[in-house]
Amino acid sequence: MKQILHWSQRCLVVCILLIFCFFWGSTAYAIEILMGSEGMLVFEPCEVTVNVGDTVTFRNNELPPHNMMVADHPEYSHSELAFAPGESFDVTFDKAGDYRFQCDPHAGAGMIGVIHVE
């Protein structure tokens, strides 16, 4: 019984995060993405829309280390792992497109995202 509660609570948290991702994806304005937010292996928000030339800040939150690798775009990737709390790096997107990215150590846990540059 205790295990069922635990499982359903985890499911609820995941559902809430997915809803947040959906809404933030459509109405992003503050361009900062937290890595490992609220003790979950996620980028938050995990989907943002920015304009060409905008800079996105990736900031360490919890469960480090994290990095940010953009599929097929090493020029936007940050392979170095961030270990320190609050550590951050900036990435400027100078070409339009949809950029899927992941945290290499945690991609298997679902730490992935997408940045739409328009």
* 59 contributes a contact to Cu ion by CB under 5 A: no
* Catalytic residue set: 66, 103, 106, 111
List of long-range contacts for 12-15, beta carbons under 8 Å, 24+ apart:
13/40
Q: Nearest distance from residue 95's CB to Cu ion, in Å?
A: 25
Q: Of 52 and 109, which has the nearer Cβ to Cu ion?
A: 109
Q: Nearest distance from residue 59's CB to Cu ion, in Å?
A: 12
Pairing of strands 88-92, 55-60: antiparallel
Which region, judged by CB under 5 A, interacts with Cu ion, from 26-34, 54-62, 72-80, 107-115? 107-115
* 103 contributes a contact to Cu ion by CB under 5 A: yes
* 32 closest CA partner among 48, 56, 51: 56
* 106 contributes a contact to Cu ion by CB under 5 A: yes
Residue selected from 21, 47, 66, 93 as contacting Cu ion according to rule CB under 5 A? 66
Cα dihedral sign for 52, 57, 62, 64? positive
Q: What angle do CA 60, 61, 65 make, to 5 degrees?
A: 55
Residue selected from 111, 112, 115, 117 as contacting Cu ion according to rule CB under 5 A? 111
Q: What angle do CA 46, 10, 70 make, to 5 degrees?
A: 20
Which chain residues interact with Cu ion by CB under 5 A? Answer: 66, 103, 106, 111
